[in-house]
Structure 1
Amino acid sequence: MSAEAFTALWAEIESIGRADGGGYLRYALTEPELVLRDWFRNQADRRDMPVTEDGNGNLFAWWGDPWGRNAVLTGSHFDSVPHGGGYDGPLGIVSAFLAVDQLRAAGHRPGRPIAIVAFVEEEGGRFGVPCLGSRLMTGAIEPAAAARLTDRDGVTFAEALGTEPAGRLPELQSRIGGLVELHIEQGRALDVPVGVASAIWPHGRWRFDFTGRGDHAGTTRMSDRNDPMLTFAYTVLAANKEARLAGAHATVARAEITPNATNAIPSLVRAWLDARAADTPTLETLVEAVIKRAEDRAGRDGTGVSVTPESVSAEVAFDTSFAQGIAKWLGGAPILPTGAGHDAGVLSALLPAAMLFVRNPTGVSHSPAEHAEDADCAAGVEALAAVLKELS
């Protein structure tokens, strides 16, 4: 696979959803992502690959019998975080189509169906639950609960989808024999073009509701205030400290303030904690410590705090023999863990699953600075084709 071939196909989607302020705005089931889904269907048509849907918003392009037994699944997602990079997700879908092209050009005839998948709402940037499409497909979330999820404009997932989600795919484990997801590496651990995932850190999102008494910023004495913003600010600093002490990660990057007026003491601050750690006990200890610090501070500030876990993903250890086999097929590719969540991690609870990582020279992701060289992306296509050939 030449770098030029990758460059040509990548150019077809590179401008879709690009934001004026930098990065991309490709929220699930909004116009830019819908354009990309149409592009997916067109790519499948060009290759005589029939496209099916599973009733949850996930798209599948088939080389072989649609929903034939023991299929090999590959692909990723189109949606982005706000102003995120262009490679996170779409790289896996573009690479999958190119890998099929390469296998066909080499005369490969798969003994089992190969399906390219575009999962819906992987980032959780619109409806708040990451990997929503794969969670629905595997039964990890109830369809009724997913249907009720709303975006910031009050649109429900069911409304955006145009129907109630179908939920778990019938006979999932007999229909799909395994998944290989190619993804840009989202850190600085990879110093060669392609690597193999060993594990995904346990991680989750917790909503903190800090409540207080709204009042006038100019007439309320400092000693008379019950200001939830103070409790919120202390909690952000506490999360940073506790994460550093634990060797874990904690981020508070989203907050909503009521009434959000310059001259008013807020009555409510709603914020989201993203926490991750190398193992479940460390993650649980971290979150408990942050909650305890928030509650203690709320007692001193005369405010209230409640915590709601919105999504929590357990540690994923990909099948060691599977990962080692893939690394061997690729001539000894390095095996490394990641702190980022992926659809492959959700499916790994039920199916053999693996991930390939393509080098990210900046080490930056979820940002406009995210990048991969075309030559490394072409190497990723070569690697994915080799793995699909072995599995099919």
Structure 2
Amino acid sequence: MTFHSMWAELLPIGRSSASGGYRRFAWTEADADCRAWFEQQARGRGLAYETDRNGNQWAWLGDPARGDAVVTGSHLDSVPDGGAFDGPLGVVSAFAALDELRRRGARFTKPLGIVNFGDEEGARFGLACVGSRLTAGALTVEQAHRLTDAEGITLPQAMEAAGYDPDAIGADPHRLDRIGAFVELHVEQGRALDLSGDRIGIAGAIWPHGRWRFDFRGEANHAGTTRLADRRDPMLSYAQTVLAARREAELAGAVATFGKIAVEPNGVNAVPSLVRGWLDSRAADQESLDAVVGGVKKAAREYAAAHGVDLDVERESFTPVVEFDHALRDELARILATGTDLTVPVLGTGAGHDAGILSGRVPTAMLFVRNPTGVSHSPAEFAAEDDCVAGVTALADALEGLACT
């Protein structure tokens, strides 16, 4: 199959007719359809197919037991009403790159793997990169079993309902020992390439980032009869904290976002008893990130105290700065520049990826494909067809240089 036919086949899965965005959440029907698509692509190319203990899917050319496999791929799940390219572009491009190498008559001297990591976005259970975190031992079985979705369904219950064994999950060092290098292709989540005029970029580092839950607890009361002076309204403290997050991020040259909120009792005519908001913050270095989150927490406590509201803050996830393997990064730059006048800029990114999770265990690198809008996690996310094809070619060149020499 061509890149275009694969893309067209995958495109309708999990797409909302109302928003035009995608709702491919972990262990749902849409997720199962994506998994079936991956398995079909693998078996249709004569690749050895397997699903690991954490629900990640693998397709192999050659024997991975050798321990020097070159692996590529990404993920197929999405954020709520996300775009088409974030994740799937890397998986579709992986199969297309293999097809291109076969057309070239490339002779593989190392095993080649293609992977679809499960639950990368964390849209359902609130934690990103669950599949890769479990595999790398960055998420314990106990922690994973405590994850729940908005309906109160636990991760084990969701996995079991989807036909997987939740008691089998956990660190998988034997599998990671198979990998000699992992290269993830991804649509750029920003406009650096569009501004520079380049189609392809190489990742330099992932900013440190995390998610914090702020619970503002006040007192439920009648919106029409309760005097303003008598209220313990947690919404006021939350709203002021949202503004504080923007202020702290601007001061530090970082980003901070309250993008998710839950309110109880959530009535139009009721003063809330609880406002729960989730902060996502990212910065170029740890010191800046600490300054932002520390400033937001300090402001939140001051606002809560002023309104007679109780506050609890819990860090739900955190990923330190990831410096991708310099030797692998430089080798990719050399391969992509060989015989061409192609310039491949090295970019930092504030977005987390499975490649970042694996970087502590295996040499990893990333390729970015130009996104002219700079928009991501939205139906407006976009990459032009010729840029996608350029990404396939670049990935094929990289894999040929790494696995066929």
Report the alpha carbon displacement of residue 218 of structure 1 after superposing the two structures with TM.
1.2
Distance in 2 (alpha carbons) for counterparts of 1:54 and 1:330:
32
Report deviation, 1:144: 2.2
Counterpart in the other structure of 1:51:
49
Cα deviations across residues 57-81 of structure 1 (Å, max 9, x unaligned)? 1000111125442211110001100
Partner residue in 1 for 2:340: none
Please list the CA deviations of residues 324-358 of structure 1 after superposition, one character each: whole Å capped at 9, or x if unmatched. Answer: 22112111411111110000000011110000000
Conservation of the 8 A alpha-carbon contact between 1:6 and 1:374: no
Aligned to 1:303: 309
Contact 1:211–1:268 (8 Å) recurs in 2: yes
1:236-315 aligned at under 5 Å gives the runs 236-315=242-321
Match of 1:189 among 192, 196, 200: 192
Offset of residue 173 of structure 1: 4.6
| Matched residue, 1:18 | 15
Work out whether residues 128 and 151 of structure 1, in 8 Å CA contact, stay in contact via their aligned partners in 2. Answer: yes
Q: Could you say what secondary structure the match of 1:42 adopts? A: helix
**83-92 or 143-152: bigger deviation:** 143-152
Moved over 4 A (4+): none
The equivalent residue for 2:381 is: 370
Aligned-pair distance for 1:153?
A: 1.3
What residue number does 1:29 align with? 27
Q: How does 1:1-392 map to 2 (within 5 A)?
A: 5-19=2-16, 20-162=18-160, 163-164=165-166, 165-190=168-193, 191-331=197-337, 332-392=343-403
Q: Which amino acid aligns with 2:366?
A: M
RMSD: 1.2
Secondary structure, aligned partner of 1:330: helix
Contact 1:248 1:283 in 2 (8 A): yes
Equivalent residue of 1:51, what SS?
Answer: strand
SS at match of 2:14: coil
- Paired residues of 1:69 and 1:112 also in contact (CA < 8 A): no
In structure 2, C-alpha distance between the alignment counterparts of 1:348 and 1:142, rounded to whole Å: 18
**Structure 1 alignment gaps of length 5 or more:** none
**Separation (CA, whole Å) in 2 of partners of 1:65 and 1:106:** 21
Letter in 2 for 1:347: L
Equivalent-residue separation in structure 2 for 1:390 and 1:348 (angstroms): 20
SS in 2 for 1:12: helix
Unaligned runs of 5+ in 2: 338-342
Matched to 1:83, the amino acid is: D
* Distance in 1 separating the partners of 2:121 and 2:49: 23
Distance in 2 (CA, whole Å) between partners of 1:167 and 1:390 is: 33
**What SS is found at the alignment partner of 1:302?**
coil
What TM-score comes out, normalization by structure 1 length?
0.97
**Deviations, residues 179-207 of structure 1 (Å, cap 9, x unaligned):** 00000000000131111000101001000
Structure 2 Cα separation of the partners of residues 108 and 345 of structure 1: 29
SS at match of 1:15: coil
Aligned amino acid, residue 372 of structure 1: A
Task: Tell me if the contact between 1:76 and 1:117 (Cα under 8 Å) persists in the aligned partners.
Answer: yes
Q: What amino acid is the match of 1:283?
A: L
- Give the letter aligned to residue 129 of structure 2: C
CA contact (8 A) 1:60 1:116 kept: yes
